Structure 1
Amino acid sequence: MSGPDQLLLLAGGGHSHALLLRRWLMRPQLKPKRTAVVLVNRGSTALYSGMVPGLVAGLYSHEDCAIDLRDLCQRAGVAFVRAEITGLDLPRSQLLLAGRPPLQFDRLSLDLGCQTQHAEGQLGVKPLEPFLQWLKQAPPSLTIRGGGAAAVEVALALRAQGHQPELLLRGEQLHLGSPAANRAGERLLAEAGIPLGRGVGPERPADLACTGSEAPPWLAASGLPCDPQTGRIWTEPSLAVEGHPRIFASGDCGLIRRDPRPASGVWAVRAAPLLAINLKRSLEQPKRALRPWRPQARALQLLGDGRRRAVAFYGPWSLGPSRWLWRWKEAIDRRFMAGFARTGAMAAGAVMACRGCAAKLAADPLEGALARLQPGEDCPPPEDAAVLAATSTGGLLLQSLDGFPALLDDPWLNARLTTLHASSDIWACGAQLQSVQALVTLPEAAAPLQQELLFQTLAGVRSVLDPLGVPLLGGHTLEGRDGAGLALSLSVNGSVDPQRHWPKGPLQSDQVLLLTRPIGTGVLFAAAMAGVAKPQWIDAALETMQQSQAPLVELLQHYGCSACTDITGFGLLGHLGEMLGAGQEVELDPGAIPALAGARTLLEQGQASTLAPSNARALARLDPGGGVRLSAPASAVDQQLWIDPQTCGPLLAALPASRAEAALEHLGQLGFAQAAVIARVLIA
């Protein structure tokens, strides 16, 4: 067995974990050997806290401040799971997640960030995502409860954006660490015209709370030893949790009992080197003593005023405000963020073969092999699902087979997408799923890790089937050799009344072609492998791909669908061509074809899936006599989009033109708001 034999979970994408990943990326020998590593975080990006006030003030964009965790994990050889952490089951060594099965671990490292303490019904500044969303419609005049550095900096940033904030203090003074710092803070607030409400009790409501921080409540509920005031986990100087040597905590959720420090990005950053050393020792040499750490007693603090000036605080001393201090702070922050970016050479490296349905064999070798298998005979017309037999009640029994190498490192989500993709062959025939069997290929690893991978994979399959009442009958498992990774193939079975069965064609003269959702997954995931896709584009694509198209079968039946296919590996033009009979012709509207966010931008940059060049043969359909006429000129980007291979792609359905508008309205009500009529039949 040459694969990993232990699993390390990194729970949370805080600064310590982000720097840990960067450390492994730059020095791979520091990464624990024979260990599979998974990072779990509720978002695919993590905001660098040092630049958030500048983001609020409008000095930085969201992209300037965001660390792309998915890309960082890919480069560091770490699996990424986007999920909300809800708890910890210590006896079973499991991390609990919202809406999906728990994850098993041998070692667990917690770097979860924090939330605003004593918010008490008011919106807290942390977690940052709801606060930043609220800012988009924040009132012109607002009140902020809090008197620490974060409250002062947020107030100044909001003032720089044109708001009229008031800072409400519980006592009479700010709490910036020293009398000199307090005086400097009051001077900044006075210059900005921000009033201070002193001695304000909790009975006065506030719009925003910036009143210190506390750890997520589920940590204390899990049974870990926690500080009763803040809920932060008590750790040894090694960052191992007291009484739990297999669990580590750092950043804002951890607190060294012997040397407690306030929650701050400074100590989270300083903890990363020690965390890397001790995780490696714990996994590789569990009997060896862990290295202790005594964090510095003080840290330099640079506070921006939202107008490109800053104040420096260190112990009892303060300096500023001045523009050169701001330039110094900005240089430090941008250098920190630059450490996570790909270099030009890395982004432009060798082309990697795409996964998902883009790993499908190209059409030429496929057709060539089938032609050799039956010399002198025409290949049978392609069908989404084969009709096996008639049932005793007169229905048709259908079967299809699909699968591919894992598109994602997250086995649960990968299996969910694979199941939705395979099931669309049945739905494209107007049928309902009846049963599924699975063939799972697992990478070489220790038996407990293979068990976890198989469990997550089968649970992902069932996340699609269970709501439909469809059984997973069983299947077969294999172990991949010579470095082969996770792969999943599914045999899907369905049934349909013969009168409701949709073939791919023929088309009828009064029909239009309706596409149920946008396309562009091939180029998006190819660009993600190269590190040039924005994380929000991949997040949005995954949300679309996870939406089941099972409800569309009855909807399209209701509106008179008579022919249908699903758009998968051969792209829109390739599968549209399969619907056309001899002499048939459709008029395609280039401007009507919806694309996933970012797909066109990436195509303009020259990005493409590795299957796209072989799919380009379908562009011959646009030639005279090819069966596809254009209603308007099409750009090169349009044409590249039409040959982009799709995973979990849309259905393409032929409907009576008179009923298309009503069908689109109904689709919008089901959450398919980007469905569109993209073509009309000219010659049937």
Structure 2
Amino acid sequence: MRPGQLSDALKRVLQEAQVTLIQNESPWVGLSLLCTGSHGPTWLAKSGLPVNEQGRVQTDACLKVNGKTNIFASGDCGVISNAPRAASGVWAVRAATPLATNLEAACQGKPLVPWRPQRRALQLIGTHRNTAWAEWGGWRLEPSPLIWRLKQRIDRTFMAGFQQHASMANATPMACRGCAAKLPAQPLGAALERVGLGGQPEDAGRLPGNPGMLQSVDGFPALVTDPWLNGRLTALHACSDLWACGASVSSAMATITLPMVPSETQQELLVQTMAGIRSVLDEQSAELIGGHTMESRVAAPTPASLGVQIALTVNGSNTSPWLKSGLRAGDALLISRPLGTGVLFAGSMTGATSAPDLDSALRSMATSQHTLLKQVEPIEEHIHACTDITGFGLLGHLGEMLQNNPRIRIQLNGSAIPAYSGSLELFERGVTSTLAPSNRAAWRWLEGPVQLQQQPVCCSAGAVGGPSNLWPPAAGLHQRSRRSSHSDGPWIQIGRATAEHG
């Protein structure tokens, strides 16, 4: 380093801190600090993107990479070709708003908005004695306690913005979204009894005058912030009721509640939501034949997409639908998908769920299982009972199947129950879904112990759960536990139905 590059004030501060400057020809002695300046990572230059001499990706004023259609760059890795600025946190932070604006505009096919960053930025540099100096372009103030207090205030205010959500999450437990937002089984059953609608629950109802037609209604508040993905997940969740009856989906109607936000935002949320719903129906050659929209009368959450609520009425046909209530002693219990989505999403609300675990579960949940109907066609006559595992969890839905079979018990093999990656670890840390406590009432239907670490996953609410079938052992269907190319998960035997003794 050449001494002439530093101001006298900076030299005095370094001297007081007992920092010795090493000139280019001086030997290094003891602990040394090497200042290299800012340079982009080498992989950017090898990526094929245009970079400047400092290795930073060159963009236009809209932060779009030069010569590229859908790639943006900002912060220390990017630089606007016609308005270059030094790599600094000031410009990186200020680029956030124009970057978000242009990403949204690009997704909507709207014109991008150019951004011209400020030419200079205030730089506050602290010393070891609770003082700091300030620099603005060529103007500089020597170290002062007043500047130090200003720097502390700016830094602490900035960091507080990242801690606000964490402190809110720790204050009170947050209610789970998605399917875990459904009413617990006990108050639901009691209310149905009081109005004369009690009895054996089924996944779908037969339409009067046309017993071959089946209909079901399902839905929940937004589970994820992406309205398209949320529409797809909700549609898959609703369709699984008909799949659990052995019926193919032919049509659906949607009731969508939108948050109180500007009409332009409502329109975009509705477009994305319906596109997600149709992506599921199109795969089944089914149609969205109508629906209804409403505007919420409560304040919109942040982000507003979490204020979308969807209910779907789905229609299908099967003259001999599978029922929940047909299980028999000796039937094998098979499951087509892992458990634990409820606790993964409960953990995500407080930052406890890892991103890879959540992404893995979402990929599975977003994969349609309608092809399972074709897979089981050759042995359909051997299926005695079936249900999908969603909000009430494995135990809750097994309890529904046993409601009118008082002499049947379920023997589960806890070690065979598949769980999504990360879910068991969250249970060990005390994370549970909102419906888990009420779902535990179904323990009474079990025969024999279940391993301790598997108990919580049996009670956890699920979203877009897979079908659970009960098969007679004589059918030899244990061979079908192998992985299948027709679905995203294998059929796994996790237990069997037994007769109550005595």
TM-score for both structures, normalised by structure 1: 0.53
Aligned to 1:558: 378
Aligned residues with identical type, % of pairs: 42
Tell me the residue number matched to 1:421.
237
Q: Pick from 588, 604, 617 the counterpart of residue 441 of structure 2.
A: 617
Q: How many residues align?
A: 405
Match of 2:186 in 1: 364
Distance 1:661-1:213 versus aligned 2 partners, 3 A rule? same
Q: Deviations over 1:93-113 (max 9, x none)?
A: xxxxxxxxxxxxxxxxxxxxx
**Deviation digits for residues 125-164 of structure 1 (CA, Å, limit 9, x no counterpart):** xxxxxxxxxxxxxxxxxxxxxxxxxxxxxxxxxxxxxxxx
Matches within 5 A, 1:60-75: none
Aligned match for 1:514, one of 334, 351, 355: 334
Amino acid at match of 2:200: P
**Superposition pairs of residues 158-557 of structure 1, within 5 angstroms:** 210=42, 213=45, 232-235=58-61, 250-251=74-75, 254-258=78-82, 260=84, 267=87, 269-275=89-95, 292-294=118-120, 345=167, 348-374=170-196, 379-389=198-208, 391=210, 396-483=212-299, 485-498=307-320, 501-557=321-377
Structure 1 counterpart of 2:133: none
Counterparts of residues 64-143 of structure 1 (less than 5 Å) = none
Q: Tell me if structure 2 keeps the 8 A contact 1:214–1:232.
A: no
In structure 2, do the counterparts of structure 1 residues 390 and 558 end up closer, same or farther at CA, with 3 Å as the change threshold?
A: farther
Q: Which amino acid aligns with 2:61?
A: T
Where in structure 1 are there 5+ consecutive unaligned residues?
1-178, 185-208, 221-225, 297-335, 622-627
Call closer, same or farther: CA 1:338–1:491 in 2, change over 3 Å. same
Which residue of structure 2 aligns with residue 661 of structure 1? 478
Aligned residue type for 2:199: P
SS at match of 2:240: helix
Question: Do the aligned partners of 1:390 and 1:397 also contact (CA within 8 Å) in 2?
Answer: no
Change (3 A) 1:553 1:444: same
Alignment correspondent of 1:121: none
Shift in CA distance, 424/279, structure 1 to aligned 2, threshold 3 Å: closer
Deviation at 1:230, TM superposition (A): 8.5
* Cα 1:548–1:291 shift into 2, 3 Å: closer
* Distance across 1 between alignment mates of 2:65 and 2:428: 50
Q: Provide Cα deviations, 1:273-301, integer angstroms capped at 9, x if missing partner.
A: 33358789999xxx9x96513489xxxxx
Gaps of 5+ in 2: 1-22, 29-40, 105-112, 123-157, 301-306
Amino acid at match of 1:516: S
Kindly indicate whether the alpha-carbon contact (under 8 Å) linking 1:416 and 1:464 is maintained by their aligned counterparts in 2.
Answer: yes
Alpha-carbon displacement from aligned partner over 1:219-267 (angstroms, at most 9, x marks no partner): x9xxxxx98x98721339xx7999xxxx996236642335546xxxx82
Does 1 or 2 have the higher relative contact order (CA < 8 Å, sep 6+)?
2
Please, which of 424, 428, 439 is the counterpart of residue 604 of structure 1? 428
Structure having the higher strand fraction is 1
For 1:537, give the aligned amino acid.
D
Mapped contact 1:504–1:578 kept (Cα < 8 A) = yes
Secondary structure of the 1:502 match is coil
Structure 2 equivalent of residue 587 of structure 1: 411
Name which of 618, 629, 640 aligns with 2:447: 629
3-state DSSP class of the match of 1:678? strand
C-alpha distance 257-544 of structure 1, shift in aligned 2 (>3 A): closer
SS in structure 2 at match of 1:646: coil
Letter of the structure 2 residue corresponding to residue 486 of structure 1: V
Structure 2 Cα separation of the partners of residues 211 and 370 of structure 1: 62
Tell me the distance in 2 between the aligned counterparts of 1:431 and 1:273.
53
Could you tell me how far 1:545 is from its partner in structure 2? 0.7
Farther off after superposition, 598-607 or 271-280: 271-280
SS at 2:424 equivalent:
helix
- Whether contact under 8 Å (2:242, 2:316) holds in the other structure is yes
- Per-residue CA shift, 1:321-346, capped at 9, x if unaligned? xxxxxxxxxxxxxxx99997899856
Larger of the two Rg values belongs to structure: 2
1:610 counterpart letter in structure 2:
T
In structure 2, C-alpha distance between the alignment counterparts of 1:211 and 1:574, rounded to whole Å: 51
What's 2:494 paired with? 678
Q: Specify the code of the residue in structure 1 equivalent to 2:60.
A: W
Q: Deviations over 1:39-76 (max 9, x none)?
A: xxxxxxxxxxxxxxxxxxxxxxxxxxxxxxxxxxxxxx
Is the contact made by 2:327 and 2:385 (CA closer than 8 Å) also made in structure 1? yes
> RMSD in angstroms over aligned alpha carbons?
3.9
Amino acid of the structure 2 residue aligned with 1:612: A
Deviations 1:391-439 (A, max 9, x none): 5xxx710000000110111100001000000000000000000100000
Find the counterpart in structure 1 of residue 8 from structure 2.
none
My pick for the range that moved more, 350-359 or 605-614, is 605-614
Deviation for aligned residue 1:535: 1.0
| TM-score normalised by length of structure 2 | 0.71
Paired with 1:373 and 1:399, the residues of 2 have a C-alpha distance of 21
Q: Is the 8 A contact 2:253 2:313 kept in 1?
A: yes
Deviation at 1:639, TM superposition (A): 2.0
| d(CA) in 2 for partners of 1:434, 1:402 | 16
User: In 2 relative to 1, CA 343–253 (structure 1 residues): closer, same or farther, beyond 3 Å?
Assistant: closer
Alpha-carbon contact 1:235-1:248 (below 8 Å) kept: no
Alpha carbons of structure 1 residues 569 and 216: separation in structure 2 relative to 1, 3 Å: farther
Aligned to 2:38: none
